[in-house]
Amino acid sequence: MNKKTVWQFTALAFAIAFISWGVCILFGQFGITTEKHYWLYIPYLLGGFAPTIASYIALMRNGEITGFKEWIMNIFTIKKPIRFYLFVIVLNAAYFVPQMIICGTKERNPLFFLIALTPLMLFGGGLEEAGWRYILQPELDKKCGYFLSSVAVSAIWSIWHYPLFLMQGTSQYGTGFLVFSINIIGLTFALGAIRKITGSVFLCVLFHCIHNAGSVAFNIPDTLFGNVVTTALLTAISLAAVLVFEKNRANTDAGNTQIDSMEAAELGGIKQWISLRSANTSNPILLFLHGGPGTAQIAFSRKLQAGLEKDFIVINWDQRGAGRSYSSKLDPKTMRIEQFVSDAEELAESLLRRFKQDKLILVGHSWGSIIGARLAAKRPDLLWAYVGIGQVADMERGEMLSYQFTVSEAKRTGNHKAVQELERIGKPPYAKLKDGGIQRKWLDKFGGQVAGGAILGLIFKSITVRDLGLFGLVRFIQGTAFSLKNLEEQQNRVNLFIDVPEINVPVFFCCGRRDYTVPFELAAEYLDKLRAPQKELVWFEHSAHAPNFEEPDVFREFCVTKLKDCIV
């Protein structure tokens, strides 16, 4: 599911609810409430169904479902093991039993009243799960894990309910929002656990229905102490259940030779770092050469490459002087393009030996495409295919085109400050490294690096703490500065039209339509002139310089459909 679906769902759920309930609150100021004016139930109920409506709209708009029938089937798949239904009952018992012991009940109805009321609660809150647990919580879980996603959703869910506390005629009106919010925390952890362990939206709906029916049937007084104790117990049980589930899944994965590791490798006489991730180590190897120079990507690649791990062994390498491989003791004299090609060759050979494979797929991005193209030309025997992303061709011409595009955009948009700064630094080659940074700053502003965003934003929102490591951000910044200082001049002299006229493996260039960091026109021209047994230009319509990260799902589809065909 793409992030656009998640954002659209959340925005719509709030917009529909707050507008609808806002109408009820407004009329309530004049004494017009649902208690006497039944027509007000229309906006009241519309607000309550906001997550359900928003779910269907967001999923349809983004092509996640084909229609209403599929949506209903995805929510109401009831065929699940009996132990999952028992889990739902246990979690509800963990909520109500302690509450009744601590707070007592105002009025205890017969058990059949709870049973009869439960299906009615489908329209009294249960269908909210078609949004919160179908879309929001599982998608946040993928990004930041069960615990943080539960904390985030509990806050979002509480805020979404807030207008009800201002609306005369509701059960929430005049009660404590703090007590309610504490209660929501435990419920969110429980519902998140149900969704994660069972994979079922319906069981989340069932839990919600039983909970709301039980709240009416048992009529337990709301107290701060009772809710704190219940929330703590429900959260602890849910966390324990998820930990057991994840441990069992990890053991199962281990039997499938899954790999997820960070390792040091001796390359070119120094220690350099690689990350290896895959669902199965019998998958073909996909070796990434990051851009920059110095933009080491181990720290921010996990989330964006997760879709590749089912079909490939995904290898990221922080090159010498970059990221985890940065060291203040590194000799600047070793920072030569030829050395990087040699390091990449040594790494490729060691990976093939380790995984007992004949060849691998090499992916070079931007600066990494210089290393990649040279290695592909030098050692075609190691490769099934070569993929160039933001492929460098002729740096001198490319920098001029990039500068001209940036100036043109500055004038077109009437950005006088940009025009002044760009005219001050003049055309490339730039006199100082800082001047190139100024051009890149405005290029980024005009969408020539990341379409509709900024390159640093893309990087920082994708960073995972466990991959960044202690002091990782400091190393990343130091490595970037060190690499640019020692490699920028060499990079600017590169002309692959002359240096690499032929590659004897299948070649694919992935080009973003908005790429003016390394202008796409030159990549297309280079591929046209390059001699190769098979070559193809793959366009990414909504990307600039990082299509593999800007459109990760499209890139994965390309890898699965095109690259796997190269493996014999």
- Residues annotated as catalytic (active site), given as ranges: 366, 515, 545
Q: List residues bridging with 288 in a β-sheet.
A: 316, 363
Phi and psi (nearest 5°) for 385?
A: -165, 160
Q: Length of the chain, please?
A: 568
Q: How many angstroms separate the CA atoms of 61 and 53, rounded?
A: 12
User: b/e per residue, 512-543, with b = 16+ CB within 10 A?
Assistant: bebbbbbbbebbeebbeebebeebeeeebeeb
Q: What is the dihedral of CA 182, 185, 186, 191, to 10 degrees?
A: 150
Task: Dump the DSSP string for 516-559.
Answer: TTTTHHHHHHHHHH-B-SSEEEEEETT-SS-HHHHSHHHHHHHI
Task: Dump the DSSP string for 176-239.
Answer: -HHHHHHHHHHHHHHHHHHHHHH--HHHHHHHHHHHHHHHHHH-----HHHHHHHHHHHHHHHH
DSSP letter, residue 270: E
- Collapsing DSSP to helix, strand or coil, 263 comes out as strand
Q: How many angstroms separate the CA atoms of 10 and 403, rounded?
A: 40
From residue 413, alpha-carbon distances to 345, 410, 426 in Å are 45, 5, 19
CB atoms within 10 A of CB 471: 9
Closest CA to 105 of 216, 224, 225: 216
Q: How many angstroms separate the CA atoms of 308 and 306, rounded?
A: 5
- Token representation of residue 246: 């994840």
DSSP letter, residue 500: -
Phi and psi (nearest 5°) for 494?
A: -70, 135
- Collapsing DSSP to helix, strand or coil, 271 comes out as strand
Residue type, 316: N
Residue type, 101: I
Closest CA to 553 of 545, 544, 565, 543: 543
Q: How many angstroms separate the CA atoms of 55 and 432, rounded?
A: 52
- Token representation of residue 448: 């020539």
User: b/e per residue, 553-562, with b = 16+ CB within 10 A?
Assistant: ebbbebbeeb
